[in-house]
């Protein structure tokens, strides 16, 4: 017990130190490529979350039908977390603190659980993969990706230790964070069924908690718009609608057919999809580490859900949600040859610079 606590403390410290190095590197990189490190925090979806933050007591204002891509497409928890800091800080500072605290929590989550599942050697490589993933800049932006890592990691950690109340709290928070947060609850249910070989009351409680979180959002949107599923309808402004997976794959293949018409950063999404498939096959064949069933179900659901939206755009950002897959990438790198390690690290550094340049210069990269 004492040794386990010491390992957790060391993992927390390591995750924090890597976060500090990563954040400073991104600040310098953003300046080098012509970005505005503070203002860029609120680009695109970050501006929608800022709208939710400033909406006052009524988190969802009645949307103007003329508004394109309204804030009602987004869930409120990211803004609510920032409001906690706004009690003692100016609004803008509170949002910046919340965003960076979420990023710090994401690195600590990766550090703690990658060591728990794969061991100390893989832990370092897992942190490298997270830090150098080209879309990792969205972790410090006012987006929901960092908090998804923190909350899902807390849920997986608590569930593996049968801490029912903490698991239920995390599942409910996931339901408040994003529409696909409901898959956190589903992964907990199916994972427990596999481990216990039965559907018990605790598994049902995990699922109910996630639906409770989603239910709050549904009620808020019904009160504001008269449509409890307005967030689903609003997704159409992003050309997202339910479709079978090969539609998104076809969109990805279309990237290769329209090189002259498509901005190059779209290739990052296609590469992310290919790497996801390769790592999935490698895990299925090797089964490294001691990955809990809940984490396996979580990765499958979170990696597959964007493929049901008809387009592949932003897949490289959504892969941040499937952070255990990055830990798996760390496991592969840990056993790879030095040549492969250097090649992958260099490729990820170049991808990070490329993504940062696009992000800082007004190109939607993620």
Rounded to whole angstroms, how far apart are CA atoms 284 and 298? 15
Tens-place pLDDT, residues 87-146:
999 999 999 999 999 999 999 999 999 999 999 999 999 999 999 999 999 999 999 999
Q: How far apart are the first and last CA of the chain?
A: 42
Query: Could you tell me the pTM of the whole model?
Result: 0.93
Q: What is the pLDDT of residue 40?
A: 87
By CB atoms closer than 10 A (0-12, 13-18, 19+), residue 231 is buried
Least confident stretch, 29-38, 162-171, 240-249, 334-343 = 240-249
In the block, residue with structure tokens 């991808």:
351
Cβ neighbours of 237 (radius 10 Å): 12
Q: What angle do CA 200, 77, 315 make, to 5 degrees?
A: 85
Which among 85, 61, 87, 90 has a CA at the least distance from the CA of 74?
A: 61
Tens-place pLDDT, residues 185-199:
999 999 999 988 888
* Residue 292 vs residue 266, higher pLDDT: 292
Q: What is the pLDDT of residue 72?
A: 81
* Residue 51 vs residue 238, higher pLDDT: 51
Two tokens, residue 9 = 């403390």
* pLDDT at 63 > cutoff 60: no
Rounded to whole angstroms, how far apart are CA atoms 310 and 85? 37
Tell me if 252 sits within 8 A of 312, measured CB to CB.
Answer: yes
Tell me if 40 sits within 8 A of 30, measured CB to CB.
Answer: yes
Q: What is the mean pLDDT of residues 258-282?
A: 74
Could you give the 3-state DSSP secondary structure of residue 93?
helix
Q: What is the pLDDT of residue 307?
A: 82
Residue 321's pLDDT band (cuts 50, 70, 90): very high
Q: What is the pLDDT of residue 341?
A: 96
* pLDDT at 60 > cutoff 80: no
Q: What is the mean pLDDT of the chain?
A: 87
Residue 237's pLDDT band (cuts 50, 70, 90): low
Q: For the range 297-305, what are the long-range contacts, defined as Cβ-Cβ under 8 Å and sequence gap of 24 or more? A: 297/186, 297/187, 297/190, 297/191, 298/152, 298/156, 298/183, 298/184, 298/187, 298/191, 298/322, 298/324, 299/324, 299/325, 301/180, 301/183, 301/186, 301/187, 302/180, 302/183, 303/276, 304/245, 305/180, 305/183
* pLDDT at 312 > cutoff 80: no
Least confident stretch, 2-6, 134-138, 225-229 = 2-6
Q: What is the mean pLDDT of residues 232-254?
A: 70
Q: What is the pLDDT of residue 269?
A: 81
* Residue 364 vs residue 200, higher pLDDT: 200
DSSP single-letter state for residue 181: G
String of DSSP letters for 222-284: HHHHS-TTHHHHHGGGGT-----HHHHHHHHHHHHHTTTTS-TTHHHHHHHHHHHHHHHHHHH
Tens-place pLDDT, residues 172-188:
999 999 999 999 999 99
Q: What is the number of helices (H) and of strands (E) in the chain?
A: 16, 0
In the block, residue with structure tokens 């909350």:
151
SS3 sequence of 268-280? HHHHHHHHHHHHH
Least confident stretch, 6-20, 106-120, 245-259, 285-299 = 245-259
3-state helix, strand, coil in the chain (%, to 5): 75, 0, 25
Two tokens, residue 330 = 């760390």
Least confident stretch, 235-249, 252-266, 319-333 = 252-266
Backbone torsions φ then ψ of 66, nearest 5 degrees = -85, -15
Two tokens, residue 247 = 């539609």
Tell me if 146 sits within 8 A of 58, measured CB to CB.
Answer: no
Backbone torsions φ then ψ of 356, nearest 5 degrees = -65, -40
Q: Rounding to the nearest 10 degrees, give the CA dihedral for residues 296, 301, 307, 308.
A: 160
Q: For the chain, give the percent of residues with pLDDT over 70.
A: 87
Q: What is the pLDDT of residue 329?
A: 95
């Amino acid at each position: 017990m004492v040794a386990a606590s010491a390992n957790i403390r060391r993992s927390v410290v390591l995750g924090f130190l890597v976060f500090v190095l990563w954040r400073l590197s991104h600040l310098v990189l953003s300046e080098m490529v012509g970005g505005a490190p503070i203002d860029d925090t609120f680009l695109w979806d970050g501006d929608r979350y800022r709208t939710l933050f400033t909406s006052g007591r009524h988190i969802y204002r009645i949307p103007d039908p003329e508004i394109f891509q309204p804030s009602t497409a987004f869930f409120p928890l990211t803004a609510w977390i920032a409001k906690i800091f706004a009690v003692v800080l100016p609004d803008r500072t509170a949002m910046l603190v919340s965003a960076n605290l979420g990023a710090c929590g994401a690195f600590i989550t990766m550090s703690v659980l990658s060591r728990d599942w794969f061991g100390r050697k893989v832990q370092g490589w897992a942190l490298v993969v997270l830090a150098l993933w080209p879309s990792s800049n969205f972790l410090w932006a006012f987006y929901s990706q960092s908090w998804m890592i923190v909350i899902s990691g807390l849920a997986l950690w608590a569930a593996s230790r049968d801490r029912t109340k903490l698991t239920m709290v995390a599942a409910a928070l996931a339901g408040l964070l994003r529409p696909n947060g409901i898959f956190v609850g589903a992964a907990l249910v199916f994972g427990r069924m596999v481990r216990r070989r039965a559907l018990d009351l605790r598994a049902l409680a995990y699922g109910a908690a996630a639906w409770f979180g989603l239910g709050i959002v549904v009620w808020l949107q019904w009160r504001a718009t008269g449509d409890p599923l307005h967030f689903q309808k609003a997704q159409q402004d992003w050309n997202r609608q339910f479709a079978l997976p090969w539609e998104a794959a076809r969109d990805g293949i279309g990237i290769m057919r329209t090189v002259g018409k498509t901005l190059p950063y779209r290739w990052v999404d296609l590469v992310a999809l290919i790497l996801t498939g390769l790592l999935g096959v490698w895990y299925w064949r090797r089964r490294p580490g001691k990955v809990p069933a809940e984490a396996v179900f979580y990765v499958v659901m979170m990696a597959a859900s964007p493929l049901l939206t008809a387009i592949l755009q932003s897949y490289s950002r959504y892969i941040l949600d499937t952070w255990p897959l990055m830990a798996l990438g760390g496991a592969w790198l840990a056993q790879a040859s030095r040549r492969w390690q250097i090649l992958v690290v260099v490729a990820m550094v170049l991808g990070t610079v490329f993504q940062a340049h696009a992000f800082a210069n007004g190109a939607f990269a993620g």
